[in-house]
Structure 1
Amino acid sequence: MNLLKKAALFTTLLGVTVALGACSSAGATGKSGQSGKLTVVFLPGDSVKEEGAARAALSKEVAKATGKKVQVQTTTDYNVAIQAISSGKAQIALMGPDSYIQAHQQSKNVQPIVTYTGKSGTLKDAYYHSYIMVPKDKASQYKVNGKYSLKNIKGKKMSFVSNTSTSGYAIPAGAIAKTFNIKNKDDLAQSGKFFSKVLFGGSHQGSTVNLLKGDADVAAFDDMDLTQYGKFLNDSNKVGAIFQINKNAPAPFNQVRGKESLAIAAYKVQNEPIAVNNKYVSKKEIKEIVKDLTSKRVTNDRTFFAPANAKKRGLLPKDGNTQFKAVSDSWYQPTHQILGE
């Protein structure tokens, strides 16, 4: 874990006891998994109002599989969710790959149990995309020899998601560090170092709004958290991808409806896992949770997997034969290697 993440985590830990203590399901010891109750924690991007029905649906499946009462914990800080699952104050979490790996580093008891597949219905295309975007009307400023490049982002105002977000920080920051041969990646998260100003949106939605409102010149965010708020106007897999906010998009996008951003860089990211702290969730319970989540019933439930044009946002995006598949930590070795953790 780099120095920035350690500092951020230390600061978060000072207040996390109070924040998590308010969760009645955790009880005095935080070992709710052993007291007939479970807590499912969600990252900021999945804690938004539009995800309410999806959070409830996942909790219902966990309750059905385990026979325990399940409570939802939403967050506005990635570190709170990471600390919750690694400490056992929450026992189940829907996490980004980097957040999972951070939690796994803190406690080997944190293990992935399922992720969602790609269009093929297999793990071969189980990835999404991390982008470094700029406003479309200013994209020409980021061309070098006729091609989009990162070379002109130095000195700009930059928005990341969180320093523990895989697609909203770790991967784009790693790519920037490599491009500019930056030895201390923490410099990218501090205003006045590489960037003139650095913002953290707190969620992919927040980082996008920072860009489209003009608070940032450049921003990092992913596709899977935004497809319910807008659409890609061309190939979303490549540099040059254009994302447009829907004209009826809800808050926080109501101030930037119709605006467009363009990707000057695009990277593949392994799909996020649902993870458990197996110190508090038994092997039998895990088996039943996996059985339920990989069932046809859940696969066909739009509350779990919703297509991009769905009126109500699902827990995860649906494309072709998207479904849950069982995984273990070994499946995430490519991300372990990318992050060096």
Structure 2
Amino acid sequence: MKWLYLTISLLALAACSQQSDEQAAKDASTQALQVILIPADGGTEDGTKADFKPVFDALSQTSKLKFELRVGQSYNAVVEALCSGSADIAFVGPAAYIQAHQRGCADLLAVGVENGKSEYYAGLFGRSSISLRSLADVKGKNVAFGDINSASSFIIPVAMLIQAKIDPVQDLAGIKLVGSHANAIAALNQGQVDVAALSLVSFDKAVNQGAVDPTKVHLIARSMALPNPPIVMRSSLAPALKAKLKAAFDGLATAPGVTPDMLVGYGGKRVDRYDTAFSADHFKPMSDMMEQVTPELKTAVMHKASKP
């Protein structure tokens, strides 16, 4: 008789769990899912939202889910929003994804694919009026970095300097932490620094918007290929809702009524489709580079940046 009671209890528990998942998916169709975006466009609400509004409008159209977009004040704020449960979905840099995933807060949802690839690059850019042809030439110069938790405007460029035997604390004349890619290229363009760290996507966007003259700035060094900044979902979301989100992204490129200009990603660039089967293994090489940029080094860089 005890086994019968146990069996009934387990069946009831499984049924409740299934109903809970189904209810969560149903609730999501009536309540807006909270989407938070890293401040990839200078931290401005309008600029960053404009990049991603088309794709979430398309998702809303095809899945009947509702989305409410906002922009985090920093990369760390976006990670904390996922981990605190105040955000359901986030667009993050690859480094922020790794940090959130290691804390058990984020699962991969989708990664943009362009020309069959899901990759982008970090770069160190210099003013063309100064002879800066290699990473070795960055020694003794003033450098602007973006957010300290950004892969392409801080972590990877710092790792590149370390690999070139340049100590960012001891060997750079000065450091500016300016919070975003857009602010980094602006600092370079205005002559505040000699070198700026940002993604090639952000540089192209600045050129296209007329924010920088490409004849006055040049690429000093480019990183290895990095996995595209992903869209992630909070790990604690109901499985049924996770499945619905993945299905929505997976079928977006071929969904009726979805036009090519709605398929956009990082920097407002068009993508061919979104890959929901992108493996977390692709982030391993970047994770290895991140280990070179230790918390102690970050602290030392922030201390140097705080000096006049």
Length-normalised TM-score, structure 2: 0.74
Letter in 2 for 1:56: K
- Correspondence for 1:278: 235
- Correspondence for 1:304: 263
CA distance change for structure 1 residues 318 and 35 in 2, over 3 Å: closer, same or farther? closer
Letter in 1 for 2:139: K
Letter in 2 for 1:149: S
The answer as to 2:145 corresponding to 1:170 is no
CA deviation vs aligned residue, 1:305-338 (integer Å, no higher than 9, x gap): 38xxxxxxx864237xx32111243332222222
**Residue 229 (structure 1) shift:** 3.1
**Residue 76 (structure 1) shift:** 3.1
CA deviation vs aligned residue, 1:166-187 (integer Å, no higher than 9, x gap): 01111110010121164xxxxx
In structure 2, distance between residues paired with 1:219 and 1:276: 31
Are the equivalent residues in 2 in contact too, given 1:40–1:59 (CA < 8 A)? no
Match of 2:91 among 86, 90, 94: 94
The answer as to 2:23 corresponding to 1:38 is no
- Correspondence for 1:324: 274
**Residue 293 (structure 1) shift:** 2.0
CA distance change for structure 1 residues 207 and 315 in 2, over 3 Å: closer, same or farther? closer
In structure 2, distance between residues paired with 1:334 and 1:300: 35
CA deviation vs aligned residue, 1:50-74 (integer Å, no higher than 9, x gap): 3434433344355557755432121
CA deviation vs aligned residue, 1:53-104 (integer Å, no higher than 9, x gap): 4433344355557755432121232211121112221111011101111222
In structure 1, distance between residues paired with 2:123 and 2:96: 18
In structure 2, distance between residues paired with 1:43 and 1:61: 20
- Correspondence for 2:222: 266
Q: Percent identity?
A: 20
Match of 2:75 among 74, 78, 83: 78
**Residue 165 (structure 1) shift:** 0.7
**Residue 290 (structure 1) shift:** 2.1
- Correspondence for 1:156: 141
**Residue 158 (structure 1) shift:** 0.6
- Correspondence for 1:104: 101
Letter in 1 for 2:270: K
Give ranges in structure 2 of 5+ residues lacking alignment.
1-26, 293-308
Are the equivalent residues in 1 in contact too, given 2:146–2:197 (CA < 8 A)? yes
Are the equivalent residues in 1 in contact too, given 2:201–2:267 (CA < 8 A)? no
Give ranges in structure 1 of 5+ residues lacking alignment.
1-31, 143-147, 183-187, 231-245, 307-313
Are the equivalent residues in 2 in contact too, given 1:136–1:260 (CA < 8 A)? yes
Instruction: Give the helix-richer structure, 1 or 2.
Output: 2
Which stretch has the larger CA shift, 126-135 or 69-78? 69-78
Superposition CA RMSD, Å: 2.9
In structure 1, distance between residues paired with 2:287 and 2:194: 30
Which stretch has the larger CA shift, 324-333 or 170-179? 324-333
Name which one, 1 or 2, has greater alpha-carbon Rg: 2
- Correspondence for 2:298: none
Which stretch has the larger CA shift, 75-84 or 211-220? 75-84
Length-normalised TM-score, structure 1: 0.67
In structure 1, distance between residues paired with 2:51 and 2:285: 29
- Correspondence for 2:121: 129
Letter in 1 for 2:120: Y
In structure 2, distance between residues paired with 1:226 and 1:116: 19
Are the equivalent residues in 1 in contact too, given 2:125–2:195 (CA < 8 A)? yes
Any idea what SS the aligned residue of 1:152 has? helix
Letter in 2 for 1:196: A
In structure 2, distance between residues paired with 1:80 and 1:334: 25
